[in-house]
Amino acid sequence: MDLKSKADVMAAAPGAAAETPLPAGSFDHAALENDGPKAFGDRMGTPQPDERVLWKGRPQFGLLARTAFHGRSASAYMAALVVIALVTGRNDAAIVAALLGIALAAILHILAWASARSTLYILTDQRLIMRIGIAIETRVNIPLKQITAAHLAVLTKDGHGDIAFELAGERLLGTLLLWPHVRPFRYARPEPMLRSVPDAAALAQTIAEARARFGAIERNLSEIKEAAAASGQTASTPPRLAPAIHRGEPGLEGAPA
């Protein structure tokens, strides 16, 4: 059964959803305060006593440098300039391009390292918490019931990948607030993204199971959905959106620390 089908079944049987066990979390709440960027007890960045922590993680530095900061593409571009300068006999220009390329690659990798070091993702049975920000720490709180669609991209052979989320309700999060933890080219309605996380497919499964407790998800994690379709299983229940949260109600939040 694919993730959307599972969410439909659980939404149709609320009692079953309530009784379905989530993956057991083995994370101590107090220890999370000293893991990566601190939240200092702020409820937006700290799981509450009634929440169960299902997963925590941060981006993998090398993959983040390659995907979010385009370190490999920038290095390839500067290398091409060096080759062109050498072919045209402009050795001085080749040396300058090589030095600039080394400096650019170093800067991008330093930024990626700083971004990975200053990031902590926390998944609970109620919400997704993102502690992010290199210079100014920001805490973003995403209730699971606000997730209407999720998009999974596995980027490496060892399972590291990205998971982006479409959200219901009003547009409250900005690209600049979230960057680089945001899906590219979604400016009208920014989509928060878990970047370069390990074992992304398993994490996607955990998120889908936790989200199913709040009702059916509109669209599914694409790669897992395609795998289910290959086995001949399809979802027959019409998709249902998560209830929108309006201003003044507890819900989607993001603010500088």
pLDDT in tens, 15-61: 433 333 444 455 666 666 666 666 666 677 778 888 888 999 999 99
Residues 6+ apart with CB under 8 A from 186: 175
pLDDT band at 83 (very low <50, low <70, confident <90, very high): very high
CB 257 within 8 A of CB 138: yes
- Do residues 233 and 245 share a domain? yes
Structural domain including 50 reads 3-59+119-256
- Do residues 145 and 23 share a domain? yes
- Do residues 162 and 223 share a domain? yes
What is the number of domains present in the chain?
Answer: 2
State the pLDDT at residue 34: 61
- Do residues 95 and 124 share a domain? no
- Do residues 14 and 134 share a domain? yes
Global pTM reads 0.73
pLDDT in tens, 187-197: 888 889 999 99
- Do residues 72 and 162 share a domain? no
State the pLDDT at residue 137: 81
Average pLDDT over residues 61-70: 92
- Do residues 173 and 192 share a domain? yes
pLDDT in tens, 145-168: 888 888 899 999 999 999 999 888
Antiparallel, parallel or unpaired: β 138-143 and 253-256: antiparallel
Domain boundary among 75, 92, 115: 115
Distance CA 37, CA 68 (A): 20
- Do residues 162 and 124 share a domain? yes
- Do residues 96 and 194 share a domain? no
State the pLDDT at residue 35: 66
- Do residues 111 and 124 share a domain? no
Distance CA 251, CA 195 (A): 22
Average pLDDT over residues 214-239: 45
More confident residue, 243 or 64: 64
Average pLDDT over residues 101-105: 95
**φ, ψ (nearest 5 deg) of residue 171:** -80, 105
- Do residues 130 and 111 share a domain? no
- Do residues 10 and 70 share a domain? no
